[in-house]
Amino acid sequence: MILVGLLALAFAGEPGDPRDRPVSEGAPLTVAELEDIERWATRGRAMLDGPPGCIEVQGTARLRVAVFRPGGLWGPGERRDIESRGTFSGTLDHGVWTHLDAALETDDGRDEIEIDTVHPMMGRHQLEQGEPDEPQGSITVGTSGSGTTVAIESGGAQALSMIDLLIEEIDPSITTTYTAWDSTRRAVVLEQLVVMGDGRNTQEAEVRTLFPEAGPPTALDLVLPKRLGFTEGPLRIRVLNAQVHLRAQPTALGLVPAQDATSLVVGVLGFTLGLEQHLTYSRVRACPQEP
């Protein structure tokens, strides 16, 4: 009888499956939950897709363009920094922007940024009728004695289409993906390394998504390789230091955007253009119900 009691105590003290334990003391999830990478990758898509319903947004926008013009026979090199600020509004309907409008003004009376609209990185942009599947955009720089004008045109409202397309194509099946628990920030960190290029020219873009307290994601940071090159027709184009930083907040409407910052440097034909866009969402509400 004594032997049976001792054996019972011994087996009772043995630990269960280690994967059923919390990842650390006081953590809100188990090891097994943390290792369910597909679940975190699926939940992280909310940072790119937006809420499941229809929302109307308003906010403030800041767009900065730096134009580097090389020197030559016609004069010395020059750099122009142009900044526009204003407001924007839009409708994000089940992950698609059906309306976007911006009113931006440039402080400097000599220089000007002409842009059709802002370009949020959360949600997909609607293509116009007859527009090709791959978005087409253009950036035109004009200079005169009165100042510099930068015009950004974007079919389907996608001037920053390269980053837009990369975000849309993020998929666990083509990435190296892993998760970790950050005990300092008390958040799950989802890391995705997206392979770009092929053969010996492959590089990796890094996507990091943060889930505070293992809840809905509230931050996504995308950093592309420092230097990318591609050919568009006869042109060789360089893209440098491209980054996207999204911040969101969980609400009764779902995960809605809070802040959006995008930056990149483009070099072509000896010219270099730096682009920065910062969006801050000040109001988000459900779309009115149709009668």
Note down pLDDT in tens along the chain; length 291 residues.
444 444 444 444 445 678 788 888 888 999 999 999 989 988 998 888 889 999 999 999 998 887 776 655 555 566 777 788 899 999 999 988 899 898 888 766 555 545 667 888 888 877 655 444 444 444 444 444 444 444 444 443 343 444 555 555 555 456 688 899 999 999 999 998 877 765 566 777 888 999 999 999 999 998 887 776 665 555 566 777 888 899 999 999 999 999 999 888 877 666 777 888 899 999 999 999 876
Domain boundaries, the chain: 17-286
In this prediction, residue 236 carries a pLDDT of 63
Report pLDDT for 3. 41
| Whole-number pLDDT of residue 248 | 95
pLDDT at 219: 96
The span from the CA of 268 to the CA of 16, in Å, is 61
123 neighbors 50 (Cβ within 8 angstroms): yes
CA distance 273 to 261: 17
The whole-model pTM stands at 0.76
| Tokens 């580097």, residue located | 68
Task: State how far the alpha carbon of 143 is from the alpha carbons of 64, 110, 276, in Å.
Answer: 17, 10, 20
CA distance 139 to 63: 14
Contact 29, 181 (CB under 8 A): yes
Sequence letter at residue 273: L
CA torsion sign, 170 to 173 to 175 to 181?
positive
Q: How far is CA 240 from CA 149, 160, 275, in A?
A: 22, 13, 11
209: CB partners within 8 A, 6+ apart:
40, 44, 47, 189, 190, 192, 217, 219, 220
| C-alpha count within 13 angstroms, C-beta hemisphere, residue 139 | 20
Residue 44 three-state SS: helix
Q: Which secondary-structure segment (H or E) carries 43?
A: helix 37-44
Structure tokens given for 98: 């059906």
- The DSSP code for 128 is P
Confidence (pLDDT) at 184: 92
